[in-house]
Amino acid sequence: MQPGLTESPLDMQDVGVAAELINLAYDDWRRLPRVDPYLPESPPRVSPEELLRAGDRGDIEWVSSLLVRDGDKPVGVVTMGAGDAIARLGWLAVHPDYRRRGLGRKLLDHVIVEARKANCTVLATMPYVDSRYEPAIRLFESAGMIWADPDKCNMTMLRDPAFPPPGEPVLPQGFSLRTWQSGDEPNWTHIKNAAFGDETPVGWWQRVFGDRPDFDPNGWFFCLDGERPIGISSALLLSHPETSELLGCQIEWVGMLPEYRGLGLGRALVTACVNYALPAHPHPFVLITQRFRVEAVKLYESLGFRAVMDWRSYRMAL
- 317 located within any domain: no
Q: Where among 154, 180, 197 does a domain terminate?
A: 154
Q: Are residues 18 and 149 in the same domain?
A: yes
d(C-alpha 187, C-alpha 177), whole Å:
14
Quote the Cα angle for 220-153-27, to 5°. 90
Q: Are residues 171 and 88 in the same domain?
A: no
Q: How far is CA 34 from its chain centroid?
A: 12
Q: Are residues 214 and 110 in the same domain?
A: no
> Of 194, 253, 258, 250, nearest to 221 (Cα)?
253
pLDDT the model gives residue 1: 56
pLDDT the model gives residue 127: 81
Task: Judge if the upstream peptide bond of residue 43 is cis by omega within 30 degrees of 0.
Answer: yes
Q: Are residues 140 and 180 in the same domain?
A: no
Angle between helix 15-25 and 48-57 (nearest 10):
110
Count the domains in the chain: 2
Backbone angles phi, psi at 101, to 5 degrees: -120, 5
> Domain span at residue 35?
5-154
Q: Are residues 47 and 149 in the same domain?
A: yes
Backbone angles phi, psi at 42, to 5 degrees: -140, 130
Q: Are residues 19 and 140 in the same domain?
A: yes
Sort 172 into a burial class: Cβ within 10 Å, 0-12 / 13-18 / 19+. exposed
Backbone angles phi, psi at 74, to 5 degrees: -70, 130
Note the pLDDT tens digit of each residue in 185-234. Answer: 999 999 999 999 999 999 999 999 999 999 999 999 999 999 999 999 99
pLDDT lower than 70: segments of the chain:
1-2
Q: Where among 94, 126, 154 does a domain terminate?
A: 154
- 295 located within any domain: no
Mean model confidence pLDDT for the chain: 96
What pTM, to 2 d.p., does this model score? 0.93
Question: What CATH number has the domain bearing residue 194?
Answer: 3.40.630.30
- 302 located within any domain: no
d(C-alpha 156, C-alpha 306), whole Å:
8
Sorted by sequence, the CB contacts under 8 Å of residue 218 that are 6+ apart come out as 179, 180, 276
Q: Are residues 91 and 232 in the same domain?
A: no
Q: What is the 3 state secondary structure string of the chain? A: CCCCEEEEECCHHHHHHHHHHHHHHCHHHHCCCCCCCCCCCCCCCCCHHHHHHHHHHCCCCCCCCEEEEECCEEEEEEEEEEECCEEEEEEEEECHHHCCCCHHHHHHHHHHHHHHHCCCCEEEECCCEECCCHHHHHHHHHCCCEECCCCCCEEEEEECCCCCCCCCCCCCCCEEEEECCCCCHHHHHHHHHHHHCCCCCCCHHHHHHHCCCCCCHHHEEEEEECCEEEEEEEEEEEECCCCCCEEEEEEEEEEECHHHCCCCHHHHHHHHHHHHHHHHCCCCEEEEEECCCHHHHHHHHHCCEEEEEEEECEEEEC
Q: Are residues 121 and 195 in the same domain?
A: no
Q: Are residues 128 and 229 in the same domain?
A: no
- 298 located within any domain: no
- 309 located within any domain: no
- 36 located within any domain: yes
Q: Are residues 18 and 114 in the same domain?
A: yes
* CB-based contact 128:255 (threshold 8 Å): no
- 192 located within any domain: yes
C-alpha torsion sign, points 131, 281, 41, 26:
positive
Note the pLDDT tens digit of each residue in 84-123. Answer: 899 999 999 999 999 999 999 999 999 999 999 999 999 9
Q: Are residues 148 and 37 in the same domain?
A: yes
Q: Where among 136, 154, 172 does a domain terminate?
A: 154
